[in-house]
């Protein structure tokens, strides 16, 4: 029974019942730890859906958004702002070299929505290819390119023709990408699917084939980006330059924001009024983006991500875990029993992980500031789990 004053009961009474709740209520959080209302300290390896890249209460991020809120909380895109220009410059500075222009939005779905629209406008074509098992968001266009979205999609028709390339099938990619295709949208490491890292050969094929057929390659890095895969963007691990890249989640470290990056050539096709977003690139979001990018650089967090990945791969194929897939701190742990059982058992050991669309895979989306002792904690918790119930 949940007490009446408990926010779980109050949310259930007042909000749409579309989210399941975990069995704790956070009171505050710091670094990688959540402190609950009943005094538990939970190690958060799920990072609030891959959002809290710098961990909780990071001083540089808190100072940046506090100072920005005091001086100018909000202004729209009808005026230019130093902090917004800085955020765009910083983002271009860490992106693949061909991506020279930014459009700021508020979420991953909004970034993808605009990327797909941009592709249709720029090519004059109305067919989009996506990859099986991919996830791109819950709005009209982003949902249309999401694998298996039919149960929740709800619109009578999709805004363009959609087909799905079987993941890692290079021959299918070559056959399907033709001169009718406006764009291929791909998560280099498929997050919701269970942190499945697509093969180098497949991504190279997508890049080459889209280029020869006049289609655009859109990299959805909403989950895989902002340092999570050991480079600022996962495409940089693969050495691929997409035509459009979308980012959100960790970009503001917890302040809602998103961005679409594109080539100079594409940017040249758009003018005043062609795109817009009231809150996109607001000053507090822009200050957060600057603080996140600066902190990743100053604290050498890309190297930390790679070191913690190596440590997890070495120490955590224990207990229920049979193998590990993914990249950096976007990892999928294949288990010998239902992932939800493992997630729940780990939570009893005060370790929070996530599930995924693969029922055997638990997901690690830890803050990039993860420390060696945190990985030790995870390894011990996995080791101490009882064998599967038969």
Contacts with ligand PLP, residue ranges (CB under 6 A): 107-109, 112, 135-137, 187, 191-192, 220, 222-223, 248
Helix/strand/coil for 342: helix
DSSP per position, 276-306:
--SSTT-HHHHHHHHHHHHHHHHTTHHHHHH
Q: At closest approach, how far in Å is the CB of 357 from ligand PLP?
A: 11
Instruction: Tell me which residue has its CB nearest to ligand PLP.
Output: 108
Q: At closest approach, how far in Å is the CB of 224 from ligand PLP?
A: 7
Residue 110 or 243 having the CB closest to ligand PLP:
110
Residue 18 or 80 having the CB closest to ligand PLP:
18
Helix ranges, 23-81 (H): 47-50, 59-71
Q: At closest approach, how far in Å is the CB of 191 from ligand PLP?
A: 4
Q: At closest approach, how far in Å is the CB of 221 from ligand PLP?
A: 8
Q: At closest approach, how far in Å is the CB of 166 from ligand PLP?
A: 18
- How far CA 309 is from CA of 45, 54, 295, 316, in Å, comes to 12, 16, 19, 10
Residue 33 or 113 having the CB closest to ligand PLP:
113
Which among 364, 377, 374 is positioned nearest to 324, based on CA atoms?
Answer: 364
Residue 48 or 317 having the CB closest to ligand PLP:
48
Q: At closest approach, how far in Å is the CB of 139 from ligand PLP?
A: 7
208 phi and psi angles, rounded to 5 deg:
-70, -45
Residue 137 or 319 having the CB closest to ligand PLP:
137
**Four-CA torsion 75, 80, 82, 88, nearest 10 degrees:** 100
Q: At closest approach, how far in Å is the CB of 2 from ligand PLP?
A: 27
The span from the CA of 145 to the CA of 116, in Å, is 10
Helix/strand/coil for 50: helix
Helix/strand/coil for 129: strand
326 phi and psi angles, rounded to 5 deg:
105, -160
Q: At closest approach, how far in Å is the CB of 330 from ligand PLP?
A: 10
Q: Is 71 exposed, middle or buried (0-12, 13-18, 19+ CB in 10 A)?
A: exposed
Residue 215 or 222 having the CB closest to ligand PLP:
222
Assigned token pair, 115:
């990327």
Q: At closest approach, how far in Å is the CB of 244 from ligand PLP?
A: 13
Residue 150 or 171 having the CB closest to ligand PLP:
150
Residue 127 or 136 having the CB closest to ligand PLP:
136
Residue 187 or 309 having the CB closest to ligand PLP:
187
- How far CA 175 is from CA of 116, 126, 156, 170, 214, in Å, comes to 21, 18, 29, 9, 15
The span from the CA of 261 to the CA of 244, in Å, is 6
Other CB atoms within 10 A of residue 294 CB: 15
The span from the CA of 380 to the CA of 52, in Å, is 24
Q: Are residues 329 and 308 in contact, defined by beta-carbon separation less than 8 angstroms?
A: yes
């Amino acid at each position: 029974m949940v007490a009446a004053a408990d926010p779980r009961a109050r949310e259930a009474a007042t909000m749409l019942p579309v989210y399941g709740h975990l069995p704790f209520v956070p009171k505050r959080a710091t670094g990688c730890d959540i402190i609950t209302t009943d005094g538990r300290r939970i190690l958060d390896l799920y990072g609030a859906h891959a959002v809290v890249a710098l961990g909780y209460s990071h001083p540089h991020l808190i100072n940046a958004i506090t100072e920005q809120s005091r001086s100018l909380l909000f202004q729209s895109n009808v005026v230019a702002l130093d902090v917004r220009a800085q955020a765009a410059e910083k983002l271009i500075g860490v992106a693949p070299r061909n991506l020279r222009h930014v459009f700021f939005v508020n979420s991953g779905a909004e970034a993808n929505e605009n990327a797909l629209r941009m592709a249709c406008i720029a090519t004059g074509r109305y067919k989009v290819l996506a990859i099986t098992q991919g996830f791109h968001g819950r709005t009209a266009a982003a949902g249309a390119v999401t694998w298996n979205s039919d149960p929740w999609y709800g619109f009578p028709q999709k805004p363009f023709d959609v087909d799905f390339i079987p993941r890692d099938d290079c021959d299918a990619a070559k056959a399907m990408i033709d001169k009718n295709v406006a764009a291929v949208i791909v998560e280099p490491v498929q997050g919701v699917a269970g942190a499945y890292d697509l093969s180098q050969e497949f991504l190279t094929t997508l890049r080459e084939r889209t280029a020869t057929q006049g289609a655009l390659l859109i990299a959805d890095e909403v989950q895989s980006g902002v340092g999570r895969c050991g480079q600022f963007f996962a495409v940089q691990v693969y050495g691929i330059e997409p035509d459009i890249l979308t980012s959100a989640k960790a970009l503001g470290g917890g302040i809602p924001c998103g961005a679409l990056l594109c080539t100079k050539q594409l940017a040249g096709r758009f003018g005043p009024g062609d795109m817009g977003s009231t809150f996109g690139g607001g000053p507090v979001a822009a200050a957060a983006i600057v603080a996140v990018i600066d902190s990743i650089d100053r604290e050498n967090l890309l190297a930390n991500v790679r070191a913690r990945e190596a440590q997890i791969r070495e120490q955590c194929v224990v207990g229920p875990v049979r193998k590990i897939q993914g990249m950096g701190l976007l990892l999928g742990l294949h288990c010998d029993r239902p992932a939800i059982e493992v997630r729940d058992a780990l939570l009893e050991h005060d370790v929070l992980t996530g599930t995924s669309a693969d029922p055997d895979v638990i997901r690690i989306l830890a803050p990039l500031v993860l420390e060696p002792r945190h990985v030790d904690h995870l390894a011990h918790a996995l080791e101490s789990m009882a064998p599967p119930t038969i």
